[in-house]
């Protein structure tokens, strides 16, 4: 029979184990360095905001969040014993306050759009309550806002259609978001 030559298996095993451990350590170090480089490189590509710019962006995001919250508040179903108009009127007041505080023209346009839609809804609610004088006041406020936004057709009929459709679209988005 052939005799197997015995070699220093333990030495070779130790060397292989050392190579494996060093490879893992070196790989993790290089991987970490590559991840840091990639992160900082992409951060520089996107640009960083200075203090005043960051404050402005955060302020604008806060205003947009407030508009969204007021929009949600205006669309809440009525509570027991309280008319739906109360939520709507509170939302209109909140949008008007936000409009006065806002300093950014782009955000003011968004606020004006939402305020105009809320005024149209308030006009429709007042008309349902047989309060023609208040309905006319709210509709005129809405028309002034839509005219300032550059709308060509800001007739009462058009604004009612737009407000109803916008409300339906917004409700659909809310339903889909709640389903997720």
Q: What is the pLDDT of residues 125-170, one digit of tens each?
A: 888 888 899 999 999 999 999 999 899 988 989 988 888 888 777 6
Angle 70-145-78 from CA coordinates, rounded to 5°: 30
Task: Give the model confidence (pLDDT) of 76-100 as tens digits.
Answer: 655 444 445 677 888 888 889 888 8
Cα distances (Å, whole numbers) of residue 18 to 11, 24, 25, 53? 11, 10, 10, 52
Flag whether the pTM goes above 0.75. Answer: no
């Amino acid at each position: 029979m052939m005799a197997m030559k015995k070699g220093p298996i333990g030495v070779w095993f130790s060397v292989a184990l050392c190579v494996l451990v060093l490879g893992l350590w070196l790989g993790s170090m290089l991987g970490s360095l590559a991840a840091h480089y990639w992160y900082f490189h992409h951060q520089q590509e996107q640009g960083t905001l200075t203090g005043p710019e960051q404050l402005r962006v955060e302020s604008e995001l806060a205003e947009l969040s407030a508009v969204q919250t007021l929009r949600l508040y205006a669309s809440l179903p009525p509570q027991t014993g309280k008319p739906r108009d109360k939520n709507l009127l509170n939302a209109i007041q909140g949008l008007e306050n936000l409009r006065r505080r806002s300093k950014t023209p782009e955000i003011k346009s968004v606020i004006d759009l939402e305020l105009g839609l809320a005024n149209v809804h308030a006009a429709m609610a007042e008309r349902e309550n047989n309060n023609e004088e208040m309905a006319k006041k709210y509709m005129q406020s809405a028309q002034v806002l839509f005219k300032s936004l550059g709308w060509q057709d800001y007739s009462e009929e058009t604004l009612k259609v737009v407000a109803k459709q916008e409300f339906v679209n917004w409700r659909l988005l809310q339903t889909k978001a709640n389903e997720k």
